[in-house]
Every structure is written in structure tokens, then in C-alpha cells.
């Protein structure tokens, strides 16, 4: 039996937006996103089209339609959007792809000054 590890060659992110924490989690929960990702002090909401997986298999290039992010210094396993509505948060800080994604976002200069984004108050 042969085993080939063939990682995706390229990720293409079509949209990136920094959001307030309140807006990011509300949008995620109402849009049907079932989990958020935490990497090195940032919370990510990643929207992927179903056809992205087919494209990846054919071309080893993975399109991501949208990433929204916010500074979120302390990891927690869940975020309570409102009473009875929680979003799980997966700590992906050990995964290369997520480290590369957040680095690319931050290096792109799209990040605004984050201190007031963690809360809408």
C-alpha cells in the first residue's frame, strides 16, 4: 500500500474583513456557521462554498469565499452569542494552514487598530 501526502498547494481568499466581536458571532450564528476558529489571539469565521472541495481535489487549490476576524486574546471553548445560543471555538494555533492564513491577513495591512473591536460597548 502506498501513502501519498499531497497538501493543497494554494489557498485563495476572496474576501477578508475585520469585524467587531458582536457582529462576527451574530453573523456566524445566523448564517449557519457551526464553529469558529481561534489562532494566536484571533477569532476567525471562515465561509467556504461547497464547490471549493471539488475544486481542491481537481486543482490542489482551495478557494475560501470569506474570512472575518477579530482580535480575541484569550481562548475559550465556546462563545455565548445570547442566552441558549453558543458557538464552539476550535483552537487551531498548532495548525500550519491557520497560522499562514492569519499571517497573510495581518501582513496584507487589512487589520485596523483592534483595541475597541472586542466589545461593542
- Residue 67 CA: distances (Å) to CA of 33, 82, 93: 12, 22, 16
Q: Pairing between strand 85-91 and 36-39? A: parallel
How far is 118 from 71, CA to CA, in rounded Å? 6
Q: Is the pTM of this model over 0.85?
A: no
Segment 17-24 shows an average pLDDT of 94
- Residue 117: pLDDT band (50, 70, 90) is very low
What are the sequence ranges of the domains in the chain?
A: 10-97
pLDDT in tens, 68-99: 999 999 999 999 988 888 999 999 999 998 99
CB 15 within 8 A of CB 110: no
What pLDDT is attached to residue 53? 54
Going by the DSSP 8-state scheme, the letter that residue 64 receives in this structure is E
pLDDT at 63: 77
How many whole angstroms separate alpha carbon 60 and alpha carbon 67?
Answer: 20
What is the structure's pLDDT at 57? 63
Amino acid at each position: 500500500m502506498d501513502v501519498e501526502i499531497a497538501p493543497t498547494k494554494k489557498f485563495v481568499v476572496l474576501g477578508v474583513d475585520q469585524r467587531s466581536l458582536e457582529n462576527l458571532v451574530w453573523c456566524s450564528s445566523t448564517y449557519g456557521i457551526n464553529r469558529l476558529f481561534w489562532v494566536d489571539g484571533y477569532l476567525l469565521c471562515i465561509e467556504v462554498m461547497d464547490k471549493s472541495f471539488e475544486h481542491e481535489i481537481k486543482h490542489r487549490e482551495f478557494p475560501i469565499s470569506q474570512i472575518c476576524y477579530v482580535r480575541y486574546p484569550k481562548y475559550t471553548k465556546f462563545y455565548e452569542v445570547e442566552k441558549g445560543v453558543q458557538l464552539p471555538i476550535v483552537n487551531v494555533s498548532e495548525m500550519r494552514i491557520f497560522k499562514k492564513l492569519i499571517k497573510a491577513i495581518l501582513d496584507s495591512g487589512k487589520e485596523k487598530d483592534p483595541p475597541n473591536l472586542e466589545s461593542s460597548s
